[in-house]
Amino acid sequence: MSTKLNLTLSVWRQPGPEARGQFVTYPANGIPDDASFLEMLDMVNEQLIEQGELPIEFPHDCREGICGTCGVMINGRAHGQERGTATCQLHMRKFSDGDTIVIEPWRAAAFPVVRDLVVDRSPLDKIIEAGGFISAPTGTAPDANEIPVPKEVADSAMDAAACIGCGACVAACPNSAAQLFTSAKLWHLNSLPQGQAERFRRTEAMVETMESFFGSCTNHGECTEACPKEISQDFIAYMNRDYMKSLVYNRRLAGQR
Amino acid sequence: MAAPTATEKVTGANSATRPIRPRPKRLPFPLSLYQTAVGKKWVMAVTGIALLGFVLFHMFGNLKLYLGVIEENGERVYDVDIYAEYLRDLLVPLFPRTWFLWLLRFGLIAAFGLHIHAAYSLTRLNLATNNAYESKRDWLAANFASRSMRYTGVIVLAYLIFHLADLTWGWIPSTDWERGEVQANVVNSLSNPVVAIIYIVANVMLAVHIFHGVYSMFQSLGINNPRYNQLRRYLAAGLAAVILVGNVSFPIAVLTGLIDYDPSLLGPVS
């Protein structure tokens, strides 16, 4: 049998991008502790609809921690207090009866609020777009292990590729920097043999696009703590290294200036 | 409360689809480095290493204050006075007197200038791209040192100017400053408890600044190897501790009389 929780929510309500927002307090009573955080918000929204109020808009999609759509600040922490957990995978059993939960959207100048808890994260897409393509041979399926990849490199690339692009790193950063996101996307390709042809052009383009939207890294390490995939800030150092190389390497190619 | 339409999202005044900071026109290679935040952090790290080297050697040289009076060419003089004079004679047959010292000084001034300018422009960038939370937020990884770099940096700069005015230029009228009399100047200045407290507080701030700076520098330069990453924290703590203990010991030693100035000890060896 699951126990029921009686909670108080303090939720950021903002009718539109230009409107002024504010915290509104709602009771959330009889929440089963098996519910996920988003299911709890669904239950509150059902109550609101019955009362004739507009439901709380919150970002969500797969609800299994792999799509990167959900994500809100919960009691001052991105994705809530559980380490390595997206908002949708946070369960109400992590809260106690009588708790007050403060829910706020991601805050960054590059992430304007669309409505309530939903923010526009399209600058992250701009960074991905700037990355361009990789050169991969087409045709019949290649033989397995045709391109040798050391196990350590494959592991490292996979750790970086775990990024779901939720934006928690930006939300947690005191400078609203997207370094963890960008470095994870870069290292996922830059560490593998398949990503070498465009390595430095890609690094340069993605870093410079990132910097036109986001702040700079001051090495606090808040991003890794907030990341639902626990992506290491080591990747930021690799990105810095590759970016400095790209400035030299890209210019060494004749006629590229 | 009508739902925002698709066009509203795109055309909103603070629409995310437009860059917050337009990309500047690209300068030729070495300068283009300084146009980006990653490059500026790299410059901060390199100048930080230079400044850290200066701080370490400055502290190490000042330890001569503890050696007191020695005999030199048949005369008893304070060891630190000889050391200060020697700095002007550095590499003398190769360079004219004081030239190499001035070379080092210009290098330091350039490092300070770049370090401060990079910090200033990165702070401007970060304030422009950041939106503060309305509710209280938690800090999980950021520590006091990393969160206070801006403030400790400004305090260290203010202290640096005071320190130069006090002991290099002799602008503080109460201290009876005399050129070349290092031991006398240091003791005269630091025997005032107010000045001693300024030195102690400023050097604690310097150590806090160095603690985050040394760790941060490795990340900014891209020096990262999971096997040795923990050593970066130890090195940061070690360097900060050495500089803290060394620098704070001088005002305390002057106040307790361990370092003093006694003109009667000087003069020709009888």
Q: What are the phi and psi torsion angles at A144 (to 5°)?
A: -65, 145
Give the SS3 label for residue B63: helix
* Residue A53 tokens, joined: 């109020």
CB atoms within 10 A of CB A193: 11
d(CA A179, CA A157): 16
Q: Give the pLDDT confidence of B117-151 residue by residue, as tens digits.
A: 999 999 999 999 888 899 999 999 999 999 999 99
Is there a contact between A237 and B38 if contact means CB atoms under 8 Å apart?
no
Query: So what's the pLDDT on residue A153?
Result: 95
Is there a contact between A212 and B19 if contact means CB atoms under 8 Å apart?
yes
Give the model's confidence band at A138: pLDDT under 50 very low, under 70 low, under 90 confident, else very high.
confident
The nearest CA of chain B is from the CA of A171 a distance in Å of 9
Q: Given a cut of 80, is residue B15 above it in pLDDT?
A: no
Give the model's confidence band at A250: pLDDT under 50 very low, under 70 low, under 90 confident, else very high.
low
d(CA A153, CA A163): 17
d(CA B188, CA B198): 15
Query: So what's the pLDDT on residue B11?
Result: 43
Give the model's confidence band at B212: pLDDT under 50 very low, under 70 low, under 90 confident, else very high.
very high
d(CA B194, CA A134): 64
Is there a contact between B29 and A248 if contact means CB atoms under 8 Å apart?
yes
Q: Give the pLDDT confidence of B25-56 residue by residue, as tens digits.
A: 888 777 888 999 999 999 999 999 999 999 99
Q: Give the pLDDT confidence of A9-67 residue by residue, as tens digits.
A: 999 999 999 899 999 999 999 999 999 999 999 999 999 999 999 999 999 999 999 99
Residue A203 in contact with residue A254, Cβ under 8 Å?
no
Give the whole-number percent of chain B exceeding pLDDT 90. Answer: 75
Signed CA dihedral, B155, B161, B165, B167: sign only:
positive
Is CATH 1.25.40.10 the right assignment for the domain spanning A121-252? Answer: no
Q: Given a cut of 90, is residue B252 above it in pLDDT?
A: yes
Q: Given a cut of 70, is residue B231 above it in pLDDT?
A: yes
For chain A, what is the radius of gyration of the CA atoms?
21
CA distances from residue B259 to A199, B48, B163, B233 in whole angstroms, order as listed: 59, 31, 19, 33
d(CA B62, CA B182): 10
- DSSP, residue by residue, A164-228: ----HHHHH-TT---HHHHHHHHHHHHTSGGGSTTHHHHHHHHHHHHHTTS-------HHHHH-T
- Here the contacts of B160-164 (C-beta below 8 Å, separation 24 or greater) are B162/B198, B162/B202, B163/B199, B163/B202
Report which of residues A255 and A17 the model is more confident about: A17
Strands (E), chain B: 69-72, 75-78, 267-268
Q: Give the pLDDT confidence of A96-110 residue by residue, as tens digits.
A: 999 999 999 999 999
CA nearest A121: which of A65, A178, A83? A178
- Please report whether residue B248 resides in a domain: yes
Query: So what's the pLDDT on residue B32?
Result: 84
CB atoms within 10 A of CB B226: 9
* CATH number assigned to the domain comprising residue B189: 1.20.1300.10
Q: Give the pLDDT confidence of A166-195 residue by residue, as tens digits.
A: 999 999 999 999 999 999 999 999 999 989
Report which of residues A251 and B65 the model is more confident about: B65
Give the SS3 label for residue A129: helix
Range of the domain at B174: 37-129+144-268
Is there a contact between A77 and B9 if contact means CB atoms under 8 Å apart?
no
Strand arrangement of the beta sheet that strand A22-32 belongs to: A22-32, A4-13, A100-104, A73-74, A77-78
Q: Hey, of A175, A219, A225, A249, which one would you mutate to test binding to chain B, going by the most B CBs within 10 A of its CB?
A: A219
- Please report whether residue B16 resides in a domain: no
For residue A56, which residues of chain B lie inside 8 Å, CB to CB?
Answer: none
Q: Given a cut of 50, is residue B85 above it in pLDDT?
A: yes
The nearest CA of chain A is from the CA of B29 a distance in Å of 7
CA nearest A133: which of A186, A194, A198? A198
Q: How many angstroms separate the first and last alpha carbons of chain B?
A: 97
Query: So what's the pLDDT on residue B10?
Result: 42
Query: So what's the pLDDT on residue B259?
Result: 93
For residue B2, which residues of chain A lie inside 8 Å, CB to CB?
Answer: 15-16
Query: So what's the pLDDT on residue B2?
Result: 45
Q: Given a cut of 80, is residue B1 above it in pLDDT?
A: no
Total domains present in chain B: 1
Q: Give the pLDDT confidence of B162-180 residue by residue, as tens digits.
A: 999 999 998 888 778 888 8
B77 beta partners: B70
d(CA A222, CA A207): 20
Residue spans of the domains in chain A: they are 4-114, 121-252
Q: Hey, of B18, B41, B137, which one would you mutate to test binding to chain A, going by the most A CBs within 10 A of its CB?
A: B137
Q: Among A18, A110, A225, whose Cβ lies nearest the Cβ of B141?
A: A225
> For the CA atoms of A215, A221, A225, A227, what is the dihedral angle to 10 degrees?
40
- Please report whether residue B137 resides in a domain: no
Listed in sequence order, the residues at least 6 apart from A170 whose beta carbon sits closer than 8 Å to its beta carbon are: A106, A108, A110, A111, A124, A176, A177, A178, A181, A214
A27 beta partners: A8
Instruction: Provide the number of CB pairs (under 8 Å) joining chain A to chain B.
Output: 195
> For chain B, what is the mean pLDDT?
90
- Name the closest residue on chain A to residue B228, using Cα atoms: A234
The interface predicted TM-score (ipTM) is: 0.90
Residue A176 in contact with residue A170, Cβ under 8 Å?
yes
Q: Given a cut of 90, is residue A1 above it in pLDDT?
A: no
DSSP state of A56: P
CA distances from residue A142 to A145, A188, B223 in whole angstroms, order as listed: 9, 20, 36
d(CA B214, CA B220): 10
Residue A167 in contact with residue A212, Cβ under 8 Å?
no
Q: Hey, of B38, B121, B144, B221, which one would you mutate to test binding to chain A, going by the most A CBs within 10 A of its CB?
A: B38
Give the model's confidence band at A254: pLDDT under 50 very low, under 70 low, under 90 confident, else very high.
low
Query: So what's the pLDDT on residue B147?
Result: 93
Which amino acid belongs to residue A107?
R
Rounded mean pLDDT, A120-132: 94
**Architecture of the domain delimited by A4-114:** Roll (3.10)
